Structures are given as structure tokens and as C-alpha cells.
């Protein structure tokens, strides 16, 4: 008997469905001049390194290998791992030997727990490593996830989960085979403002939802696909939608509590701009939901900065601006329940995400932001590009697959 599942329930669905899902090919129509190749880059300018190595706090602490020592790993994630209850950095994986030595010394990671990318599979024999945190350009997420599972490790993988829904399905299947945990690092699910916004919307604080608007944009400096992986089709996919715009996709889903049943979208790729020879500069999309609500999503690499979310309901409007930052969130409701909100320190999201992951590993608690969620989002991204390419509205099944 086929699975019968409502759009609303798929939002929170995990595990059980994946085996019944079919593959849709990546839909972006852009050309890439390069194939994805691993590169060992030097320590980024201004990288934060600790003055003294952090200490492991508990015997049951989960040993994590950080895979990729770029800006996000060094400046946001690694300095905050100490704030997590039971996680510690037990190994590093990088393509740059000098950076590996510098970062390894700063974090007190022994020399024999510092791996080059080509030695990655040797982590199988390293009992200090329980899990890997993959913080590489998107093109490498699937390969390193599947290899980590083959090595018997659990995986926390940065967003977007992968370049295509087909890759996501392969990652989920590899995790199942290995009987290991897969989590996608969607940090906003552990950030107090976004968690409170989800609760408020579930309690109908603005009444019945009619319109959701999200905008995640910035203006990129001069660059080329060879200089910056985010502008390289083979490494990043179609561009801002998979990167910053994914926060808008996620917000529209967790604020509405529904899956869209249609997407119509446009993309913009300016001619003669060296930044946008391979990726889109701007993506705009309109979703409809079964409830009658509509979402309008914008994301760009070529316009003034925005990180904005708004939900307009029958009785009021929720406004989040900035909505999904590392810190500095602001949130208010206008209308019947008018109020400003300060639900907590947004920076706890990084440790909260790790605590969620390590609880799943040590206590068997379910993962909220699992592989199925990452897969769902890649399906919506593929449907967005399919709509933009064909100029037609794409209809969606409750699990995000394109219909017809
Ligand atoms: P980055 O460019 O600063 O670092 C990328 C790392 O990958 C570097 O260590 C680099 O040496 C390595 N690498 C290997 N092969 C490479 C290649 N061919 N080109 C470029 N780098 C290569 O990138 P980042 O900002 O740290 O992003 C890494 C991952 O983290 C991405 O998946 C990104 O989406 C994610 N990220 C998430 C957030 C968030 O808020 N959750 C924020 C920033 C980045």
C-alpha cells in the first residue's frame, strides 16, 4: 500500500519515508567550466585560533573530526565546540599541511590525528573519532559523508546537504547501511528567535497565515568561479539559492508548517559580469500552500544586504530582521498581539546544534534536521530551477517531488 502522508506531516517526517522516494535529477541549467577538485587552501586571513587548547569535559564526550578548515569552521564552529556539553575536537582533516599543523597545535589535536584529504579513509581505524563534521564546499558533502559512513562514523554535514536530490538519497542510504546518524547542520532550529517564531506560528499568534516573505541577499565583491567556490557551478550548484537563500526556504517551511504544492520561479544571470558566468545572481520564487497561504522568496548575490523574514496573518504580522544571523536577531509582532521578543542569545545555536547531534549518538534521541529534511530542501531547489528554466509553474507532491 502506498504511503499516505499530508504536506503538514512531511515537515516533521524522518527516516521511514526515504526508501519510497524516487530521484529527480539536478535541474539547474547552467554550465560549469570546472569539475569539483579538492584544494588545500592556506589559513584564511583573520582566522580565530584559541590561545590555549580547549579541554575535554566528560568521559562520554563525542570525538569529532572537523573536515575542512575554512572560514566557517575556524571562525564560528570550532571556537564554540567547547560550549557544547559533550563534544570535543579529536581530529582534523585538511588539504593544507601548514594550516593543519597550525590549527592542530592551537586546538591540541595530536599530530597523528591530523589527516590529509587523501588519507581520510584511514579514520576508520581511529577510535578517537566518533563522528565527522563536514564543512567543505557543497560538491564534497556527498562523497565525504558516504566515506565517513563506510568508516563507521556518524556524520554532521553542513548545508546545503548536497548538489542534488540524487546525492542526498545516496547519503541517506549509506547512513542506513552503516546504522549511523546523519544530521544536516541547519543551525536555526537551535536558535532561540527562530524556535520561538516556530512556536508562535503554531499557536496562531498572527492568526491564519496568508503571506510569508523571505529575503536573504548580499552584494558580492569582485570574484570569479576560479577564485571563489560559491561562484563555481561544479562546487556550489546554481548559487545564492543553495547558500544564503536556503535560510529563506527553511524559514518558509518551518514558519508555515506546510509543504508547498506549487512553485513558480525566475532566475537572473547578468551578461558580462565575471562573478556570474556559472551561477545565477538572483533567484525569486513564489510558493503556494494547500492552506491557501503564499510564500515569496528572494535571494541574491548582487544586491544590498537583506536577511529578512515576515509572516502576515489574518490578525497580525511577524517580522524577523535580521532573521537568521549568527547573532543580533530582532523579532516583533505587529497587530493584535503586538510585542517585541527577546527569547535568548542567538549564539547558543552552535552549541545547541552539537548537543542535539551528540544526544542522538549517545542516547538515541531522534534527529530533527535529518537527511530527509536536507533531501526535501534539495527537491524544492530543483523544482525552483525547473520552473525558472521552463517558465511554468511546477506542481509538487507532499514530499517535494515534482509532479508531471
Ligand atoms: P570556505 O571557502 O571558507 O572554506 C572551505 C574549505 O574547504 C577550506 O578549508 C578549503 O581549503 C576547503 N576546500 C577543499 N577543496 C576546495 C575547493 N576546491 N575550493 C574551495 N575550498 C576547498 O567556505 P566556508 O564558508 O567555510 O563553507 C564551508 C561549508 O560550510 C559550506 O557547506 C557552507 O555552505 C557551510 N557554511 C555554513 C554556514 C552556516 O551558517 N551554517 C555558514 C558558512 C558556511
CATH number for the domain including 290? 3.30.360.10
Res. 36 pLDDT band, cuts 50 70 90: confident
Confidence at 268, pLDDT banded by 50, 70, 90: very high
Is the domain of 212 the same as that of 119?
Answer: no
Residues 122 and 154 in one domain: yes
Question: What's the 137 CA to ligand 1 centre distance in angstroms?
Answer: 5
Instruction: Using the mean position of ligand 1's atoms as its centre, give its distance from the Cα of residue 226 in Å.
Output: 14
**CA-based R_g, the chain, Å:** 21
Inside any domain, residue 2: no
Residue 201 Cα to ligand 1 middle (Å): 33
**pLDDT the model gives residue 8:** 40
What values do phi and psi take at 307, rounded to 5?
-145, 85
Note whether residue 112 is domain-resident.
Answer: yes
Query: Does residue 23 carry a pLDDT above 90?
Result: no
pLDDT > 70: percent of the chain? 91
Q: Residue 112: CB partners within 8 Å, gap ≥ 6?
A: none
- Rounded Cα gap, residues 212 and 103, in angstroms: 42
Do both 63 and 177 map to the same domain?
A: yes
* 80 vs 35, more confident: 80
Tell me: do 240 and 260 sit in the same domain: yes
How many distinct structural domains can be found in the chain? 2
* Ligand 1 atom nearest to CA at 185: 41
Q: Is the pLDDT of residue 80 over 60?
A: yes
- Is 164 part of a structural domain of the chain? yes
Kindly state whether residues 100 and 165 are assigned to the same domain: yes
CA of 71 to the centre of ligand 1 (A): 7
Nearest Cα residue to atom 30 of ligand 1: 135
Q: Which atom of ligand 1 is nearest to the CA of 138?
A: 32
Q: Do 193 and 180 fall within a single domain?
A: no
pLDDT score for 22: 28
**Closest ligand 1 atom to 71 CA:** 3
What average pLDDT does the structure give for the chain? 92
What's the pLDDT score for residue 17? 24
Examine residue 227 and state whether it is found in any structural domain, yes or no.
Answer: yes
Q: Does pLDDT of 277 surpass 70?
A: yes
**Residue 44 has what DSSP assignment?**
P
What is the per-residue DSSP string for 123-153? GGG-TT-SEEEE-S-GGGHHHHHHHHHHTT-
- Asked whether residue 206 falls in the same domain as residue 178, the answer is no
Cα torsion at 359, 371, 310, 241 (round to 10°)? 130
Residue 388 covered by a domain = yes
| Per-residue pLDDT band at 79 (split at 50, 70, 90) | very high
What separation in Å is there between the alpha carbon of 59 and the centre of ligand 1? Answer: 31
Query: 199 and 182 in one domain?
Result: no
**Does any domain span residue 57?**
yes
At which residue does the C-alpha cell 581520510 appear?
120
> Model-level pTM greater than 0.95?
no
pLDDT band at 57 (very low <50, low <70, confident <90, very high): confident
Whether the pLDDT of residue 91 is over 90: the answer is yes
Q: Confirm whether 252 is domain-assigned.
A: yes
Bridge partners of residue 154, in order along the sequence? 131
Element (H, E) at 63: strand 62-67
The closest-lying atom of ligand 1 relative to the alpha carbon of residue 41 is 11
- Neighbouring-strand partners of residue 65: 91, 132
Atom of ligand 1 nearest to the CA of 69: 9
Q: Residue 32 — pLDDT band, cuts 50, 70, 90? A: low
Which residue's CA is the nearest one to ligand 1's atom 1?
A: 70
Are residues 176 and 165 part of one domain?
Answer: yes
Query: What local confidence, expressed as pLDDT, does residue 89 receive?
Result: 98
The verdict on residue 62 lying in a domain is: yes
Q: How far is the CA of 380 from the centre of ligand 1 (A)?
A: 23
Same-domain status, 193 and 314: yes
Q: How confident is the model at residue 142 (pLDDT cuts 50, 70, 90)?
A: very high
Q: Which of 138, 151, 137, 172 is nearest to 372 (CA)?
A: 172
Query: What residues are paired with 283 via a beta bridge?
Result: 267, 299
Q: Does pLDDT of 19 surpass 80?
A: no
Residue nearest to atom 11 of ligand 1 (CA): 41
Nearest CA to ligand 1 atom 44: 72
Q: Which of 17-31, 267-281, 372-386 has the lowest mean pLDDT?
A: 17-31
pLDDT tens for each residue of 174-199 = 999 999 999 999 999 999 999 999 99
Q: Which domain covers residue 252, as residue numbers?
A: 188-344+377-395
Is residue 206 within 8 Å of residue 317, measured between CB atoms? yes
CA 29 to ligand 1 centroid distance, Å: 23
| Same domain assignment for residues 384 and 281 | yes
For the annotated catalytic residues, the residue numbers are 159, 247
Is pLDDT larger for residue 68 or for residue 22? 68
Average pLDDT of span 38-47? 94
103-118 pLDDT tens trace: 999 999 999 999 999 9
Ligand 1 pocket list (CB less than 6 A):
37-41, 44, 68-73, 95, 135-138, 158-159, 185, 187, 229, 235, 243
Round to the nearest angstrom and report the end-to-end CA distance of the chain: 22
pLDDT at res. 34: 58
Q: Atom 5 in ligand 1: which residue has the minimum CA distance?
A: 70
Residues 231, 164: Cα–Cα separation, whole Å: 17
Q: For 216, left (φ over 0), alpha (ψ -120 to 50), or beta?
A: beta
Residues 67 and 194 in one domain: no
Closest CA to 165 of 393, 403, 400: 400
Reported as type and span, the H/E element at residue 351 is helix 348-363
Grid cell, residue 188, equals 536555526
More confident residue, 45 or 2: 45
Q: Looking at ligand 1, which residue's alpha carbon is closest to its atom 38?
A: 72
Q: In this structure, what C-alpha cell is assigned to residue 330?
A: 530582532
Contacts of 187 (CB under 8 A, 6+ apart): 349, 350, 352, 353
pLDDT digits (tens, 9 = 90+) for 206-258: 999 999 999 999 999 999 999 999 999 999 999 999 999 999 999 999 999 99
CATH number of the domain encompassing residue 98: 3.40.50.720
Angle at 140 between CA 139 and CA 141, to 5 degrees: 100
SS3 47: coil
With the most atoms of ligand 1 within 8 angstroms of its CB, the residue from 96, 104, 137 to mutate is: 137
Amino acid at each position: 500500500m502506498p504511503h499516505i502522508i499530508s504536506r503538514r506531516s512531511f515537515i516533521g517526517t524522518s527516516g521511514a519515508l526515504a526508501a519510497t522516494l524516487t530521484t529527480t535529477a539536478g535541474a539547474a541549467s547552467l554550465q560549469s567550466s570546472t569539475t569539483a577538485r579538492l584544494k588545500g587552501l592556506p589559513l584564511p586571513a583573520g582566522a580565530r585560533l584559541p590561545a590555549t587548547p580547549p579541554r575535554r569535559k566528560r568521559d562520554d564526550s563525542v570525538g569529532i573530526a572537523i573536515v575542512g578548515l575554512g572560514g566557517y569552521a575556524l571562525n564560528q564552529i570550532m571556537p564554540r565546540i567547547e560550549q557544547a556539553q559533550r563534544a570535543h575536537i579529536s581530529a582534523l582533516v585538511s588539504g593544507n599541511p601548514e594550516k593543519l599543523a597550525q590549527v592542530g597545535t592551537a586546538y591540541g589535536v595530536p599530530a597523528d590525528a591530523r589527516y590529509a584529504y587523501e588519507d581520510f579513509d584511514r579514520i576508520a581505524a581511529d577510535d578517537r573519532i566518533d563522528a565527522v563534521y563536514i564543512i567543505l564546499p557543497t560538491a564534497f558533502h556527498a562523497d565525504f559523508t558516504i566515506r565517513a559512513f563506510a568508516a563507521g562514523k556518524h556524520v554532521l554535514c553542513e548545508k546545503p546537504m548536497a548538489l542534488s536530490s540524487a546525492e542526498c538519497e545516496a547519503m541517506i542510504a549509506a547512513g542506513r547501511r552503516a546504522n549511523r546518524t546523519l544530521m544536516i547542520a541547519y543551525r536555526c532550529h537551535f536558535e532561540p528567535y527562530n524556535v520561538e517564531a516556530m512556536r508562535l506560528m503554531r499557536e496562531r499568534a498572527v492568526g491564519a497565515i496568508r503571506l510569508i516573505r523571505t529575503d536573504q541577499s548580499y552584494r558580492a565583491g569582485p570574484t570569479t568561479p576560479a577564485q571563489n567556490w560559491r561562484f563555481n557551478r561544479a562546487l556550489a550548484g546554481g548559487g545564492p539559492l543553495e547558500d544564503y537563500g536556503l535560510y529563506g526556504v527553511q524559514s518558509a517551511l518551518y514558519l508555515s508548517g506546510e509543504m508547498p504544492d506549487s512553485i513558480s520561479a525566475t532566475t537572473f544571470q547578468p551578461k558580462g559580469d565575471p562573478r556570474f558566468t556559472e551561477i545565477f545572481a538572483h533567484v525569486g520564487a513564489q510558493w503556494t500552500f494547500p492552506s491557501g497561504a503564499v510564500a515569496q522568496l528572494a535571494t541574491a548575490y548582487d544586491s544590498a544586504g537583506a536577511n529578512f523574514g515576515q509572516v502576515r496573518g489574518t490578525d497580525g504580522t511577524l517580522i524577523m530582521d535580521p532573521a537568521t544571523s549568527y547573532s543580533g536577531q530582532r523579532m516583533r509582532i505587529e497587530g493584535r498581539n503586538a510585542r517585541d521578543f527577546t527569547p535568548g542569545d542567538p549564539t547558543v545555536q552552535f552549541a545547541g546544534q552539537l548537543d542535539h547531534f551528540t544526544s542522538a549518538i549517545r542516547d538515541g534521541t531522534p534527529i530533527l534536521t535529518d537527511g530527509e529534511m536536507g533531501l526535501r530542501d534539495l527537491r524544492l531547489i530543483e523544482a525552483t530551477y525547473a520552473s525558472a528554466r521552463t517558465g511554468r509553474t511546477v506542481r509538487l507532491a507532499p514530499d517535494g517531488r515534482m509532479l508531471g
